[in-house]
Amino acid sequence: MKDNKNITSRDVDFAKWYNDVIFNADLIDYSSVKGSMIIRPYGYAIWENIQSVLDKKFKELGHVNVQMPMFIPESLLNIEKDHVEGFAPEVAWVTHGGNTLLDERMCVRPTSEVLFCDHYKKIIKSYRDLPLLYNQWCTIVRWEKETRPFLRSREILWQEGHTMHATEEEAKEETLRMFKVYEDFQKNYLALPVIVGKKSDKEKFAGAEETYTIEAMMYNGVALQNGTSHYFGQKFTKAFDIKFLNRENKWEHPYQTSWGVTTRMIGAIIMTHGDDYGLVLPPNIAPIKVCIVPIKETDEVKECIKYLEDGLKANDITFITDHSDKSAGFKFAEAEVKGYPIRIEIGPRDLERGEVTLVRRDTREKITINKIDAIYNIKTLLIDIQHNLYDTAEKRRNSMLYNDVKTYEELKDIALNKPGFALVNWCGNQECEDKIKDELGLKSRCIPTNHDISDGNCVVCGKEGKVKIYFGKQY
């Protein structure tokens, strides 16, 4: 029997709570394939909603979808030095086709920069061919040793944008434009109060000149890198000798970007909004926004169900009606564990007064209203829930942001005792960054976009600070 007693409290054991929510809400299942997960229908429906919103946005901005091969021959992976060093240790190698040993082994793509470059080299000839704004929805493979549903998996569903431009300015603009698309999407649809900024050189994507990152903070104060946008400059286009005739009729290497988000975002939703009763989904991304629960299916209740279903359909509000013969209590718990934003309880007694009860998932507050007003109330409530989830998450996050850390001792105290992110002045040297990681277990998150100017000395070495940068524990 499924009830919320199966869920460990998130304040008792957050990791166990996370898995309990995922399995009780039927989001994923383990498989016989170690390190890979099965994304079950309810989990996949969330991903389909994410895809649909982002794909539309990408296309509005002029991007088109393509499909590249899933394999990368070893020699192709080896062309860009930093890139291969970053990825070769964690790829899956195909060595045989049927019973035949391959002449050259191939890896399953861990990301597709080299495949896109290989293609771009053939199709880019003139500035007239630029920009090329390509995107791909696909699965990638990274041979992780430790895996965790949605957060770290050997197979990852994602999208990867790869664009080529005639000028540095335009490519940098694209990097930031798509970065902003991610930020807006995560704020407005996933209700995640993300922190945005630039990665340190050490934490950059293998091969990138600049990496911009979306950093989400989970309920337990741990960071989740939740999307990145990279500016490559001419690094790959030189390595792959991709050239175009520019407006001055001279050969030039184009300027490149790539950007991606993954199913990891579903992990962020769970760990930001979920509670001890299960999943809590922001209405703007929930596959099912309303769950109708009849307490007892009398004729009057049936008539009311029909009335509400018609109203929801007419307003494009997705719903399910739980007609099962389970107890009302069980159905309520089930609706909570699945995180449906609103539950409507319809009982014969309330109906005598023309009333039904709306229960909002975020606050679990009950609102008894006349059924005539139900659809209007649901529409406003969905908007309210979306905002409330964001606000609640933002308040919690702010309570775990330490933006005034001046000394290494303070930073150490945070690392040991206070979950969250600490903003410190930094000289920019990797040695200092490494020391914080090795001694305190904190990794640099990002140099935040809005307050990146140092106002003091480096928290580690005491030399002049160059930037402010967040540190935090990470998934």
Residues contributing to the site for a copy of itself (CB under 8 A): 29, 31-33, 36-41, 44-45, 47-48, 64-73, 76, 88-99, 106, 108, 115, 118-119, 122-123, 134, 138-139, 141, 143, 154-155, 157
- Which of 26/384 has CB closer to a copy of itself? 26
- Which of 108/346 has CB closer to a copy of itself? 108
Which residue reads 């600070």 in tokens? Answer: 465
Phi then psi dihedrals of residue 421, to 5 deg: -110, 140
- Which of 47/255 has CB closer to a copy of itself? 47
CB of 191 to a copy of itself, least distance (A): 24
- Which of 132/196 has CB closer to a copy of itself? 132
If phi > 0 it is left, if psi is from -120 to 50 it is alpha, else beta; for residue 316 that is: left
Phi then psi dihedrals of residue 5, to 5 deg: -65, -15
CB of 440 to a copy of itself, least distance (A): 28
Six token digits for residue 48: 């389909």
Distances (CA, A) of 52 to 49, 55, 57, 320: 5, 5, 9, 21
CB of 67 to a copy of itself, least distance (A): 4
CB of 345 to a copy of itself, least distance (A): 23
Give residues with Cβ within 8 angstroms of 359, minimum separation 6.
Answer: 332, 342, 343, 344, 345, 365, 366, 367
CB of 96 to a copy of itself, least distance (A): 4
> CA neighbours within 13 Å on the CB side: how many for 453?
1
Phi then psi dihedrals of residue 120, to 5 deg: -60, -35
If phi > 0 it is left, if psi is from -120 to 50 it is alpha, else beta; for residue 102 that is: beta
- Which of 72/356 has CB closer to a copy of itself? 72
Distance between CA atoms of 251 and 18, rounded to whole angstroms?
53
Residue 369 contacts residue 358 (beta carbons within 8 Å)? yes
- Which of 65/234 has CB closer to a copy of itself? 65
CB of 240 to a copy of itself, least distance (A): 11
Q: How far apart are the first and last CA of the chain?
A: 32
Give residues with Cβ within 8 angstroms of 346, minimum separation 6.
Answer: 292, 293, 294, 295, 301, 304, 305, 308, 356, 357
- Which of 36/449 has CB closer to a copy of itself? 36
CB of 61 to a copy of itself, least distance (A): 14
Distance between CA atoms of 318 and 242, rounded to whole angstroms?
48
Pairing verdict, β 132-141 and 255-262: unpaired
- Which of 67/399 has CB closer to a copy of itself? 67
The residue type found at 296 is K
- Which of 159/444 has CB closer to a copy of itself? 159
- Which of 103/438 has CB closer to a copy of itself? 103
CB of 205 to a copy of itself, least distance (A): 18
Distance between CA atoms of 211 and 215, rounded to whole angstroms?
12
Contacts 24+ apart (CB under 8 A), 234-237: 235/80, 235/82, 235/207, 235/208, 235/209, 236/80, 236/83, 236/113, 236/114, 236/117, 236/207, 237/117, 237/120, 237/164
CA angle 360, 357, 387 (to 5 degrees): 25
- Which of 56/395 has CB closer to a copy of itself? 56
CB of 118 to a copy of itself, least distance (A): 5
Give residues with Cβ within 8 angstroms of 436, minimum separation 6.
Answer: 411, 442, 444, 459, 460, 471
